Amino acid sequence: MLSNGVCRSIKTVVFSNKLNLLMPFGPVAILVHILTSNQGLVFFFSLLGITPLAERLGYATEQLAFYTGATVGGLLNATFGNATELIISIHALRGGMIRVVQQSLLGSILSNMLLVLGCAFFCGGFVFIKKEQVFNKSTAVVNSGLLLMAVMGLLFPAVLHYTHSEVHFGKSELALSRFSSCIMLIAYGAYLYYQLKTQVHQYVPLNEVGSPSPSGESQNADDNDEEPEISKWEAIIWLAVMTAWISFLSEYLVDAIDGASKAWHIPIAFISVILLPIVGNAAEHASAIMFAMKDKLDISLGVAIGSSTQIAMFGIPFCVVFGWIIGCPMDLNFHLFETAVLFITVIVVAFLLQEGTSNYFKGLMLILCYLIVAASFFVHVDPTKGRDTKTPLKNP
């Protein structure tokens, strides 16, 4: 029975998705790294190999969410959806690649807010083209406020640096970043308590007039697609396996970034802000679109905007504190260009969410905004070239 259960679980998780055909590219990347010095191919194959793992990580999270409830499930989706980016960031930070960490985390926020949410609105709008989909405005407003708080945390160190108004040059900026990171982590902890204890019904589906649908729970129970395909412990084991394999491949991916940039003549900023987050956000992308096409926009927002909030208020501060522990001077100075891009993105998304409705045209606007952002980073030259390379670690 045990062997039958294992075979059934492997068949369900590994052989049920065509995207998993890319999984063999992970071992291929390792072989190419061992046998050749072509860093461009190592990066490309690693990227392909991680893509299905990120998507399956999201799948296992969704299966686990069936046993935890809607609110905890939404948090799990956002948390493990960001696991790929955080793993890549930790590997890069241990290698002293501060700018890669900053830009990949920034790219994850931009990708979730513009590309993932835009595709969800676009696809959901076409499925329900004769009506406007609705979602909980209060949740969107809270997340927008947290994202603006994150922009504040990133803006002040950058302004302090570029106005040369530090009390202790080269030290005040880093000290402010570490203090702000601790405050942001406290704020995110309070936000989690608010979600789990106060707003326990934030993922209850809304009807067309924008009020909670009393039949939402019964509709979910009657929906055959909502039945879990694997058990709770199977989901936990697969989460551990996928996370470990992603962590292993991420080391090869990070080490090959600089070589891939030179081989392909593409700026490291474009690779970090655009290419890495698209792979890391595969789970959020699939989940947000799927829920939007089922007219469950609150869950789509919980995945897309909730994921952005988690990276901004937890992922970035966590990396600053982790860098502090290992002696790497990671700070919140993301430079004016990148901070301005994030600020404008938050304003645009907050403006589109203020009505509590969505349609395919709003989704199209967000997707087109993301294309403008991608083009901007393709022609953007990082003013701090030295921080693109490996920065030696200091003793903590």
Q: Which of 60, 33, 70, 37 is nearest to 49 (CA)?
A: 33
pLDDT digits (tens, 9 = 90+) for 350-374: 999 988 899 899 999 999 999 999 9
pLDDT digits (tens, 9 = 90+) for 306-325: 889 989 999 999 999 999 99
Please tell me the pTM assigned to this model. 0.84
244: Cα within 13 Å, side-chain hemisphere: 6
What is the average pLDDT across 287-312?
A: 87
Q: What is the pLDDT, as a whole number, of residue 390?
A: 52
pLDDT digits (tens, 9 = 90+) for 130-168: 888 888 888 888 889 999 999 999 999 988 888 887 787
Q: What is the pLDDT, as a whole number, of residue 109?
A: 93
Domain boundaries, the chain: 19-204+231-379
Query: Given pLDDT bands bounded at 50, 70 and 90, which one contains residue 229?
Result: confident
pLDDT at 240 over 60: yes
Q: What is the pLDDT, as a whole number, of residue 165?
A: 79
Rounded to the nearest 5°, which phi and psi values hold at 178?
A: -70, -40
Q: Are 141 and 313 in contact (CB under 8 A)?
A: no
What is the average pLDDT across 199-213?
A: 50
Q: Are 216 and 51 in contact (CB under 8 A)?
A: no
Distances in Å between the Cα of 158 and the Cα atoms of 126, 165, 186 are 41, 11, 22
Q: What is the pLDDT, as a whole number, of residue 376?
A: 94
pLDDT digits (tens, 9 = 90+) for 23-41: 999 999 999 999 988 899 9
Positive or negative CA dihedral for 182, 310, 52, 244? positive
Q: What is the pLDDT, as a whole number, of residue 295?
A: 87
Separation of alpha carbons 339 and 342, rounded Å: 5
Q: Residue holding tokens 């729970």?
A: 217
DSSP label at 165?
-
Q: Which amino acid is at 252?
A: Y
Query: Given pLDDT bands bounded at 50, 70 and 90, which one contains residue 221?
Result: very low
- Average pLDDT of the chain? 83
Highest mean pLDDT of the ranges 77-86, 109-118, 241-250: 109-118
Q: What is the pLDDT, as a whole number, of residue 182?
A: 96
Tokens of 225: 């697609």
Q: What is the pLDDT, as a whole number, of residue 389?
A: 44
Q: Give CATH superfamily name and number for 19-204+231-379.
A: NCX, central ion-binding region (1.20.1420.30)
Q: What is the pLDDT, as a whole number, of residue 192?
A: 83
Tokens of 121: 């609105």
Query: Given pLDDT bands bounded at 50, 70 and 90, which one contains residue 200?
Result: low
